[in-house]
Amino acid sequence: MPIVFITGASSGFGKATAEKFAQAGYQLILNARRLDRLEALKTHLVSSYGSQVLLLPFDVRNREEVAQQLDNMPAAWQKIDVLVNNAGLAAGRDAFQDGSMDDWELMIDTNLKGLMYVSKWVVKGMMEQKSGHIINISSLAGQEVYPQGNLYCATKHAVTALSKGMRMDLLPYHIKVTNISPGLAETEFSIVRFKGDTEKASKVYEGYQPLQPEDIADVIFFAASRPAHVNLEEITILPTAQSDSRTVNKNP
């Protein structure tokens, strides 16, 4: 069975994507930092679908840990067919002049450097196989900038640029690269962004129907299951109530 490797699988898009690929019979390599969450997900996937699941509980920001855990994967798991670079976060929502340097570094290290570390390792094997599919989770924030979005938007613009660069350079190896850009989706994203302030987080999704994790998982799986000669290179998915980063039709 094909193997999918999903980063950030303990919550939100990553968790829903794991379920979607498990339903289709894929073997799953699941990463995140919270091992208890990953173990609960594995138990569920094994009992519901008989899935084969390998857990890799590392922090994508830690370059040595990424290399060490991936190098030590059993050989049978090293032929990865699909990599979903999903682990990511926003930290804070402040004007540039009020922003925290720690928040900025956290976003750059996770959203950009983490994606680089994991991809660099996985690409080696895909190049040998002369096949593979890398699916990068960018954001509408990778196409547009909004007030107080500064550094988060910068990291997601970088992800979108990197998707284009990867696509060009990996072309001779038949490796597909898909960049997915969701708009407002209800996950733990805003709870993380507002550092545990659930009241502030829930306001982001009030008065309209935001995207759900399963909506994004459907799109990721659709992209991954196209025929070998078809690559969906850029997908933007927004809730019907959203037209752009700044405009949401609330309480119509």
Query: Applying CB under 6 A, which residues contact ligand 8X3?
Result: 139-141, 149, 184, 189, 245
12 binds, among ligand NDP, ligand 8X3, none (CB under 5 to 8 A by kind): ligand NDP
Q: CB of residue 186 vs ligand 8X3: minimum separation in angstroms?
A: 11
Torsion angle of alpha carbons 181, 187, 188, 192, nearest 10°? 30
Q: Among ligand 8X3, ligand NDP, none, what binds residue 6 when CB lies within 5 to 8 Å by partner kind?
A: none
From the list 20-28, 69-77, 83-91, 222-230, the region that binds ligand NDP by CB under 6 A is 83-91
Within 8 A by CB and 6+ apart from 14, the residues are 6, 7, 8, 30, 32, 84, 86, 87
Q: Which of 152, 173, 205, 208 is catalytic?
A: 152
Query: Using the rule CB under 6 A, is 42 a contact of ligand NDP?
Result: no
Told to check if 223 binds ligand NDP by CB under 6 A, we report no
Alpha helix positions (H), the chain = 12-23, 35-49, 63-71, 101-107, 115-129, 150-170, 189-193, 198-203, 213-224
Q: Is 208 a catalytic residue?
A: no
> Which one, 115 or 126, has the nearer CB to ligand NDP?
115
Cα separations in angstroms, 198 against 30, 34, 160: 26, 19, 29
122: Cβ–Cβ under 8 A, 6 or more apart, which residues? 5, 70, 80, 83, 132, 134
Are 180 and 220 within 8 A, CB to CB? yes
Of 42-50, 54-62, 121-129, 220-228, the segment contacting ligand NDP by CB under 6 A is 54-62
Q: Is 35 helix (H, G, I), strand (E, B) or coil?
A: helix
**Nearest-CA neighbor of 102 among 158, 57, 151?**
151
Residue 172 C-beta: closest distance to ligand NDP, Å: 28
Q: How far is 75 from 172, CA to CA, in rounded Å?
A: 25
Q: Find, among 38, 33, 34, the residue nearest to 15 by Cα.
A: 38
In this structure, are strands 27-31 and 53-56 parallel, antiparallel, or unpaired? parallel
Looking at the Cβ atoms of 49 and 214, the one nearer to ligand NDP is: 214
Nearer to ligand 8X3, 21 or 189 (CB): 189
105 binds, among ligand NDP, ligand 8X3, none (CB under 5 to 8 A by kind): none
187 scored as a contact of ligand NDP (CB under 6 A): yes
18 counts as binding ligand NDP under rule CB under 6 A: no
Q: Applying CB under 6 A, which residues contact ligand NDP?
A: 7-14, 31-34, 37, 59-61, 86-89, 110, 114, 137, 139, 182, 184-185, 187-189, 192
Q: Hey, which residues are catalytic here?
A: 152
